[in-house]
Every structure is written in structure tokens, then in C-alpha cells.
Amino acid sequence: MSRTHPPRSRSVPATPDAPDLGEPQSDAPGPDPGDGLDRLRILLASAMGTVLVSYGVLLPAAALVVLTAGSGMSVDGVFATAIPLWLAAHQIPLTVVGAPLSVLPLLPTLVLVLVVAAGARWSVRRLGGRIRTDGGAVLAAQAGAHAAVAVLASALLPAAAPVSVAPWAAMVGAGVVAALAAGLGLLRQCGVPAEWRARLPRWAPPALRGAAAGLLALVAAGAAVLAVGAVLRAGEVEASFAALAPGFGSSLGVFVLAVAYLPNAVVAGASWLLGPGVSVGAAAASPFTVAGGPRMPFPLLAAMPETPPPAWVLVVLLVPLAVGAVVGAACRRALADVPDVKLRLRATAAAAVLVALGVVVAALLAGGRLAAGQFDPVRLRPELLLPAVLLWVGGPALLVATFQRSVPGAVALVEEPEFEEIEDEPEPSDEPARNLIAVEERRNDREVADEPGDDSDDGSGDESEADESGGVSAAGSDAGGSDGEPADESDAGGSDGSDGEPVTGSDAGESDGDSDGGSGAGGSDAGESGTSDDPADDEPARNLTAVRGRREDREVTAEAPRKPQTVAELVAQRQADGDADW
């Protein structure tokens, strides 16, 4: 006995192809809490990770400061000392014992930028690498985390501490530096989107490339000036080092401080090379003049000249000119396939302006207030650097970019060749030659009719009658065919049916008259004989050969398809043939 069981209900997971019909459907997809929590976790880990890593990098420097200060070494002292260093790495102005300090080292700032950029790259890569959808979240997370920690750090500094920071300055400085560094990391990881690139003008990418080349060249030139100055004034550098750090520990601390301020000194060397120079308090130095004043006993500042420079020092002004040539060559190389001179000049001018702005920003960051003493302020004269860069760098750059030279591997723009229509020359009239062909064909017909036992020719009729008749009658019967009609215009045309053009009666008459010179037999004998000695008799033969050659050419031309003369005709022929793959 069999029993039937009711079918079991099985739950089928809802998929896009087979939705669950038991529940109401919604067009908008539901929120995914797991995805949102993962995104938040990645953003927080990246932002706080860059804060902790940048703070940890500065801990050894803080420990060295505590060690060289002569006070007791403690963990609390090291962490407390690292807080002002971390704020200074964000270029946040400090107040030391009531005196402003805004001449901050640039090397910790560069390290901080590298750390934040690496964190931004990691986070956007984990989120999917989409700069338009994830870039804003990464920027906000990095800037917000650094700004919040900076405000918290400025508030945690005790009131009795020698260093103090304004909270608003900490928030703005840390947020701006972190956002810029995160933006560099995003561009390094994702690149510029194609939509943004399409909106840029044609001269923008070459201008950026030329500006980068110019800034790198100026940095190298500034480092060379600093090295030459340190070598020429090695005695003063050693004396200042010994005055500040008589012991080993203090000398190590001064060395670390000098290394931290090394990028500032490179920017000062570039400013001296461009002409405005550098000033520390009342003392100043430039390629044109030197102003006396108290000199700060610091190894990097000891490289400043104290005596007026000789006349040959003005040769160093050739270095900015060479930098300008580098900028112009970079822009010209980037636009090597563009023959438009105005576009190259526009890109070069934009590159020179970007170089000038970059130098001005670096000069503002490298200088500042120095405790309101006799060495305050440290200025690189940015108001003079802007026109100096435009003059010494922009002028040669525009001059070099004006002249175009061929670059190996450059692709030239090839224009489509224009096909000129060549009119056919008028051919000479071939009517006499056609008449000669008709006469020759009639002679061939008579020769076939004269052969014995040949009944296939309908025009033979009565051979005896054709022999007894005169030359004119024989010629007329041969040309007329089987009906025995005299040769006229229609008969001549029928004999030359291949040409499709009739032979005129006068021509036929002339040819028949020639054949009747003595008798019908004599005319045939003259036709069968070879070429005569008279040169005038060769002219019809040459005309006959020319007509046959032209006829064969016309037949070949009519059979062969016409070759396309332009690209449009080639495309039309391919489409007519049905070549879809082409």
C-alpha cells in the first residue's frame, strides 16, 4: 500500500534571475551593513594609522632632544617632546617661551607627506580604486583625523610647558597638509580620470611636465650652491658647530637639527642663485651685494658669504637661464607632434608661472619668524622671487620653445592626398582606318569564296557569275552578302560590325575603285601581294595597327573594374562588396 506525502517546501535563495515572489519587491537595493562597516573600518584604520606612524617616526628625534638637553631620560618626557615635533611637521606655527617660531624644518614635513600619501593609497586600493566614489571619503578621513589629533595635542600641552600652539592654527595646518598629501597618494594610485583629462586644455599636461622639470632643476642647483658655499666656508661652518655643541651628545643633536633644516637651506640656495638672496635679521646675501649684521652661529647659516662677491660671481646667473632652457625643452618635447607655435608658447608660459608659484610657496615655508630676536625674521624675499623666476626662467623657456626641431620617433600628421582628375586627351579620328579594315575583310571574304569545294559561304552564290562580272560587281556582291545587293553604307557597316560604326559610301567607293584598277583579278592580286615599295602604302597599315591597339585597350578597360581613386570610393566599394569585417 503506497502512501503519498505532501511535497516539501524548499527555500530557494533570492537571486537577480529568480526573485522571491512571496515578498514585495523594491526597485532600490537595500543597504548592505557589512559593506558600510568595512568601508568605515578601512577609512579609520588608514587615517589613524598615518597619525600613529608619523608620530612614531618622530619619537627617536624626540628621544635625542631629551638626551642632549642634559635632563633625565624618561618615557613621559620623550612622548611629551614628540608632540611639538609632530605639530611642527604639519607646519603649524609654535610659540616657544612667548616668542613666535615659524621657521620650521621641512624634512619632517616631507616624511609626513610620504606617510599620509602611502596611507591614502592603501585605503583607496582596499575600497576599490575608484577616485570619484572613494576619493572624497579618503581625503575627508585623512584631513579630519590629523586636524582632530592636532587640536587634541594642542589642548593636551600643559600651560606651564615652554611650547604652546593655537588650536585654530593646529586644526587648519594639520588638515591642509594631510589633505594635500592624501590627494597626492590618490593621484599616484588611481591617476587622473579620463573625464577630467578630457576637460583639460591641450597645453595643460605639457605645462605640468615642464614645471616639474624646472622645479627639479632648481632644487639641484640650490643644493649645488649650498655645497659650494659650505666647502668655501668650511672653517666658519666648523667653528659654528663647535660653538653650539662642545660635547658629543650636543654635537649629535645639532647634526640632527641641521639635517632637518637641510631642505630649507636648499631653497635658500636657490633663492640666492635667482638673485633675491636670503636675509637673517639684518644680515643678507645675494649675488649682487652683501649686507652686514650679526651672524647666527648655525652650521647651515655659516655658509652665507660675509664679504661682497667678486664680479665673476655673476656668472652663476647663467644657471637660471639653463633651467629655463630645460623647461622650454621639456614643453617642446611634449608637443613635438604639434606644429602650432602658439600652443607651445602657451604651455611654456604656464610652466614658467607654475615654477614661479612653486618657488614662492617653498620660500614662504622655508622662512618665517625666529623668536623675535636679532636673527628675526628669516626671509627668502618671495615678493622678489616671483618676477625673478618669470624673468630668468620664463624668458629662455619661451625662446627655446619657439623653435621646433624634429624628434626621433615623432609621428607626423599625414594629410590625405588629393587626387587630381586628369582629362583624357582627344584621340585622333580613326574613321579612315575603319574603312581600311572593312576593305580588308571584304578581300578575305573573296579569297574564301574563290577556294574550290567551299559551300559554307552564303555569299558565294554563283562563282561563275562572280568571275564574269566586273570588279565593281564582285566587290558589291561580296560586301552585300547572299542577297547580291550592291555595297552601300549599310553593307559597309555590316562588314565592320565589331566597331559598330558604318563605313561611308565614299570610302567604300574609293576602296572598290582601287580594286577595279585593271580587272577584278588584278585587284585581288594587288591585295594578296606584299607591301609595296611606296612609303605612302605603309600609312594605312600603321593606322590599322593603332586602331586595333586602341580597340584592345578599350576592351580591357571595359572588362577591368575601375579602381577607387579616393578613400571615400574605397569605403563605398567595400560596403557594396559586403565586406563587413573590413
Is 186's pLDDT higher than 60?
Answer: yes
3-state helix, strand, coil in the chain (%, to 5): 65, 5, 35
CA-CA distance, 276 to 214, in Å (whole number)? 18
What is the structure's pLDDT at 508? Answer: 36
CA-CA distance, 91 to 110, in Å (whole number)? 11
Phi, psi of 286, rounded to the nearest 5 degrees: -155, 170
**CB 55 within 8 Å of CB 81:** no
What is the structure's pLDDT at 578? Answer: 67
Closest to 395 measured CA to CA, from 437, 425, 428, 356: 356
What is the structure's pLDDT at 313? Answer: 84
Structure confidence at residue 383 as a pLDDT band (50, 70, 90) = very high
Closest to 268 measured CA to CA, from 352, 393, 394, 368: 368
CA-CA distance, 136 to 140, in Å (whole number)? 6
Which positions ≥6 away from 419 have C-beta within 8 Å?
Answer: 565, 566
Among 21-35, 59-73, 284-298, 427-441, the minimum mean pLDDT is found in 21-35
pTM over 0.75: no
Length of the chain: 582
pLDDT one-digit tens code per residue, 129-139: 788 888 889 99
Among 187-201, 350-364, 377-391, 499-513, the minimum mean pLDDT is found in 499-513
pLDDT one-digit tens code per residue, 86-95: 999 999 999 9
Over residues 486-508, mean pLDDT: 38
Phi, psi of 290, rounded to the nearest 5 degrees: -135, 130
Q: Is the dihedral of CA 513, 517, 518, 523 positive or negative?
A: negative
Place of cell 664679504: 307
More confident residue, 284 or 560: 284
Is 504's pLDDT higher than 70?
Answer: no
Structure confidence at residue 50 as a pLDDT band (50, 70, 90) = very high
What is the structure's pLDDT at 210? Answer: 94
**CB 86 within 8 Å of CB 77:** no
Burial of 268 (0-12, 13-18, 19+ CB in 10 A): buried
Structure confidence at residue 444 as a pLDDT band (50, 70, 90) = confident
Among 98-102, 253-257, 484-488, the minimum mean pLDDT is found in 484-488
Among 78-82, 315-319, 321-325, 354-358, the minimum mean pLDDT is found in 78-82
Place of cell 580597340: 551
What is the structure's pLDDT at 191? Answer: 83
Is 115's pLDDT higher than 90?
Answer: yes
What is the structure's pLDDT at 243? Answer: 84
Is 300's pLDDT higher than 70?
Answer: yes
Is 198's pLDDT higher than 60?
Answer: yes
pLDDT one-digit tens code per residue, 235-252: 888 888 888 877 777 788
Among 101-115, 140-154, 290-304, the minimum mean pLDDT is found in 290-304
CA 559: distance to chain centroid?
Answer: 49
User: What is the enclosing helix (H) or strand (E) of 380?
Assistant: none
- Grid cell, residue 366, equals 622655508
Range 415-418 contact pairs with CB under 8 angstroms and sequence separation of 24 or more: 416/567
Is 537's pLDDT higher than 50?
Answer: yes
CA-CA distance, 192 to 205, in Å (whole number)? 11
What is the structure's pLDDT at 576? Answer: 74
Structure confidence at residue 519 as a pLDDT band (50, 70, 90) = very low
Burial of 251 (0-12, 13-18, 19+ CB in 10 A): middle
CA-CA distance, 472 to 462, in Å (whole number)? 16
